[in-house]
Amino acid sequence: MPLPTPTQFDRVIAARTQLVFKQPFFGALALRLKVLQSTYNDTAWTDGKHLGFNEAFMASLTMDEIVFVVAHEVMHCACAHIFRRGGRDAWRWNIAADYAINWILKEAGFTMPPVGLLRDDFGGESAEWIYDRLPEQGEGGQGRGQQGEGDGRPGAGGHDIVDAPVDAAAEGVTEAEWRQAVQQAAAAAKMRGVLPGCLQRFADESAKAKVDWRSVLHRFVQQVATADYTWRRPSKRYIPTGLYLPSLYSEVVGPIVIAVDTSGSIDDITVSQFAAEMRAIVDEVHPERVHVIYCDAQIHREDVFERGEHLTIDPVGGGGTSHVPVMDFVDDMPEPPVCLIALTDLYTGHRAEPPCCPVLWATIGSTEAPYGEIVEVH
């Protein structure tokens, strides 16, 4: 008597079991998700609590490809993509997150279905970093208007991150719990000697608290500025959201210095994001003036913006990097600045003593400096 043909539910469960024995890092995490057959989208999805799949889609895949899909949904949870989207467009966020995940799975030896998104130039980058580099209309000129556009509901083509339920904490769906689960799964897999190097790096990164570098920039300047809040000048940053909040304003905030590393290690998109945040900060605290200096091994140019002038950042230079000229410049200013903010990869020369003002390193590379505060721009 022939054996009954396995259902697609059976195949997904078998794929999960295969992960438990052959890839225990993914297997341990997959066991946290309740598997269910669903028509919610035409591929598979997760909300941090469930792993849903479309029957027709699973029927079109080989067993190795189903294993990939299960690991893929697990990684959305492990990477906390469900919790990190914030106000970003759900459609582009799904694409960015898929690129971030699929490169890791490729490095771990999984077999990706033909519909998967993969670009080697996005390898090792975060979903946030990739999101900022995706075209507005999507990859390959793909237009908008897919199922559930803009509301977090996945559409055709594998958009599979479902917003966590409103009562996420009650459902046991929290970012902290998933981060803890990642560490436990990595430790167990390492003990068995089956944790690939790419997953060890991922687990190490997951253990680090994610910091919003933009909020750190604002907090740093607000702390050093002699200023207070006023309702007479509502904050322009929050008016579009419907919130009427006071802005930070003072007539006595001294000069601010911005140092931009022009050695070639910082791309144009990062510079643009940094410039946008600095303009928002200047609009809030109204410093007497802003000095923007461009430096590699020497200072190539200084741009000065008086109060009320539009701040622009346009790097010029190239070559090796040293911040000794930057610190000397700050110390030699006729009026000491209230702070120095340096955008750099921190692969640079330093002098022994700090300058005469607080320093914030907005870095894309090393997280160590001889003095000052550091925030990673990502």
pLDDT digits (tens, 9 = 90+) for 27-61: 999 999 999 998 888 899 999 999 999 999 999 99
pLDDT digits (tens, 9 = 90+) for 309-338: 999 998 876 667 889 999 999 999 998 899
- Domain locations along the chain: 8-207, 213-376
The encoded tokens of residue 302 equal 């200084």
Taken in order 146, 149, 154, 158, the sign of the CA dihedral is positive
The encoded tokens of residue 170 equal 């009650």
What was the pLDDT predicted at 4?
66
Within 13 A of 342's CA, how many CA atoms are on the CB side?
32
> In the predicted model, what is the mean pLDDT of the chain?
81
What was the pLDDT predicted at 239?
52
CATH number for the region 213-376 comes to 3.40.50
The reported pTM is: 0.60
What was the pLDDT predicted at 235?
53
Closest CA to 77 of 175, 4, 220, 218: 175
For the chain, residues with pLDDT lower than 50 are 1, 138-158, 166-170, 227-233, 244
pLDDT digits (tens, 9 = 90+) for 138-166: 444 343 433 333 333 333 344 677 765 54
> Distance from first CA to last CA of the chain, Å, rounded?
59
State phi, psi for 326 to the nearest 5 degrees: -65, -45
